[in-house]
């Protein structure tokens, strides 16, 4: 293959048995490190009766206690860190519904790790040094802007750090500087597309789109690729707790699952609300252990993201790192209406299959005196009727949400990550 696009060929194609040995060695190291350097983590291990010497092989990971978002909040701001604050050079954070944010600190080594993981993603998408990359997530506490930036620096891209907003200027810069690679949150790609359509304009130099941080269904991916007239659209993955966008991985040109960088993270899939692994290939909660981070490695972090292993075999692209299914949703995103379980991603996928439907939609869960109902609002061309939307959703989801069709531009837009699900309480007080 001529264009494997490896950034770190040896690490990305390490034979599986060597990869497992490396993971086991790094697991032993990180557990000893965390035990010695984080009093909070040491106490958690002690409470479980676990000492670093008990961790000999990969299978021993099951002995370790879990972490979740609540631990980050409980020990806000830097209680989980393994280093003194003088060694921290950057931080990012995400806010949750509870108000106390999740904070991730970085040492210089962590920024290097982040940059290399994200550079692998750029490279896997077909980027080469000197390419023009436009980075549209905000440069701030959200990790998106800086994650794409650190990766682009590693690879040597020509960075246009536009950050979020001012879509008209984004388009002008992309045209003037011949942007080849566009990065952003999924819904921002759709904002750019919308304005291009209004202007009757295009981005002729664009070849690669790398998007993430939101629900990203296959049909949405196709819609974005068609609108930009490109064939390379990728789903990048990472989160604040693992060190940000790109730390975890991305789909490769084979688009047969998302590769997770297993030399940096151990991947477990656990049964919902249980502490035992699912059978290989079954859906469950993704649990991650960071092997190479310095300021705040997570140990058995319950991500809340639902996925399944697609394959642990070597991929057609030559990479040996595990492939998981695109994230179906979050454990707490699962919606139950009239006894049917579904995820926002399934709604998105079904909607985007309807010709004439635009990539702007809302899922509204209404509570009428304890009885839940769901209403789907979507923007579409005049050719699309509410009946068509309802009929298609019934076929796809197995129940009938009410569907209201809006003209393009009528639904509200948000800066940053899009809110797709809304709750409305119609109960009598």
User: x/- string (CB under 5 A) for Zn ion, residues 197-236?
Assistant: ----------------------------------------
SS3 per-residue string spanning 242-254: HCEEEEEEEECCC
Q: How far is the CB of 346 from Zn ion (least distance, A)?
A: 25
Helix axes 186-199, 218-228, angle to 10 degrees: 30
Nearer to Zn ion by Cβ, of 298 and 317: the residue is 317
- Candidates 63-71, 161-169, 253-261, 416-424 — which segment interacts with Zn ion by CB under 5 A? 253-261
Nearer to Zn ion by Cβ, of 245 and 317: the residue is 317
Q: How far is the CB of 253 from Zn ion (least distance, A)?
A: 7
Does residue 250 interact with Zn ion by CB under 5 A? Answer: no
Does residue 252 interact with Zn ion by CB under 5 A? Answer: yes
Does residue 317 interact with Zn ion by CB under 5 A? Answer: yes
- Candidates 21-29, 72-80, 85-93, 307-315 — which segment interacts with Zn ion by CB under 5 A? 307-315
Nearer to Zn ion by Cβ, of 91 and 117: the residue is 117
Interacting residue with Zn ion among 159, 267, 269, 315 (CB under 5 A): 315
- Within 10 angstroms of residue 422's Cβ, the number of other Cβ atoms is 12
Distance CA 419, CA 216 (A): 13
Does residue 311 interact with Zn ion by CB under 5 A? Answer: no
- Candidates 44-52, 68-76, 248-256, 304-312 — which segment interacts with Zn ion by CB under 5 A? 248-256
Nearer to Zn ion by Cβ, of 8 and 175: the residue is 8
Does residue 168 interact with Zn ion by CB under 5 A? Answer: no
Rg of the chain's alpha carbons, rounded to an integer? Answer: 22
Does residue 291 interact with Zn ion by CB under 5 A? Answer: no
> Measuring CA to CA, which residue among 349, 380, 376, 374 is closest to residue 362?
376
Distance CA 227, CA 360 (A): 14
Distance CA 259, CA 314 (A): 11
Nearer to Zn ion by Cβ, of 4 and 68: the residue is 4
Distance CA 346, CA 145 (A): 28
- Candidates 65-73, 265-273, 309-317, 350-358 — which segment interacts with Zn ion by CB under 5 A? 309-317
* Secondary structure (DSSP) of 20-54: HHHHHHHHHHHHHHHHHH-HHHHHHHHHHT--GGG
The answer to whether the beta carbons of residues 262 and 19 sit under 8 Å apart is yes
Does residue 254 interact with Zn ion by CB under 5 A? Answer: yes
Say if residue 77 is preceded by a cis peptide, omega within 30 of 0.
yes
Helix residue ranges per DSSP H, 38-107:
39-48, 69-74
> Measuring CA to CA, which residue among 136, 196, 147 is closest to residue 171?
196
User: Which residues here bind Zn ion, judged by CB under 5 A?
Assistant: 252, 254, 315, 317, 319
């Amino acid at each position: 293959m001529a264009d494997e696009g490896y950034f770190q060929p040896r690490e990305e194609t390490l034979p599986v048995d060597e990869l497992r040995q490396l993971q086991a060695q790094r697991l032993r190291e990180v557990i000893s490190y965390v035990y010695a350097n984080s009093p909070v983590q040491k106490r958690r291990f002690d409470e479980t009766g676990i000492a670093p010497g008990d961790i000999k092989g990969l299978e021993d990971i099951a002995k370790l206690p879990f972490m979740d978002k609540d631990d980050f909040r409980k020990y806000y701001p830097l209680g989980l860190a393994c280093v003194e604050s003088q060694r921290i050079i950057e931080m990012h954070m995400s806010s949750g519904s509870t108000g106390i944010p999740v904070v991730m600190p970085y040492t210089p080594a962590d920024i290097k790790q982040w940059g290399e993981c994200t550079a692998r993603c750029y490279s896997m998408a077909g980027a080469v040094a000197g390419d023009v990359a436009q980075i549209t997530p905000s440069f701030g506490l959200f990790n998106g802007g800086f994650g794409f930036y650190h990766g682009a620096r590693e690879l040597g891209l020509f960075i246009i750090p536009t950050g979020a907003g001012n879509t008209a200027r984004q388009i002008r810069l992309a045209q003037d500087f011949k942007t080849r690679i566009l990065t952003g949150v999924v819904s921002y790609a759709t904002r750019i597309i919308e304005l291009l359509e209004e202007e009757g304009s295009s981005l002729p130099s664009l070849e690669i789109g790398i998007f993430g941080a939101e629900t990203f269904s296959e049909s949405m991916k196709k819609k974005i690729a068609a609108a930009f007239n490109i064939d390379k659209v990728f789903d990048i993955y990472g989160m604040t707790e693992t060190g940000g966008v790109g730390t975890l991985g991305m789909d490769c040109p084979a688009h047969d699952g998302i590769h997770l960088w297993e030399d940096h993270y151990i991947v477990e899939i656990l049964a919902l609300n249980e502490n035992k692994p699912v059978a290989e290939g079954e859906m469950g909660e993704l649990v991650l252990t960071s092997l190479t981070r310095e300021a705040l490695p997570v140990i058995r972090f319950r991500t809340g993201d639902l996925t399944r292993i697609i394959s642990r075999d070597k991929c057609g692209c030559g990479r040996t790192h595990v492939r998981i299914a695109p994230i179906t949703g979050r454990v707490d995103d699962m919606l139950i209406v009239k006894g049917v379980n579904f995820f926002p991603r399934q709604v998105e996928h079904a909607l985007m299959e309807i010709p004439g439907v635009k990539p702007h939609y809302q899922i509204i869960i209404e509570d009428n005196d304890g009885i839940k109902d769901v209403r789907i609002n979507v923007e579409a061309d005049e050719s699309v009727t509410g009946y068509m939307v309802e009929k298609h959703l019934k076929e796809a989801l197995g129940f009938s949400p009410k569907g209201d069709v809006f003209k393009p531009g009528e639904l509200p837009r948000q800066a940053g990550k899009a809110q797709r699900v809304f709750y409305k309480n119609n109960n009598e007080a």
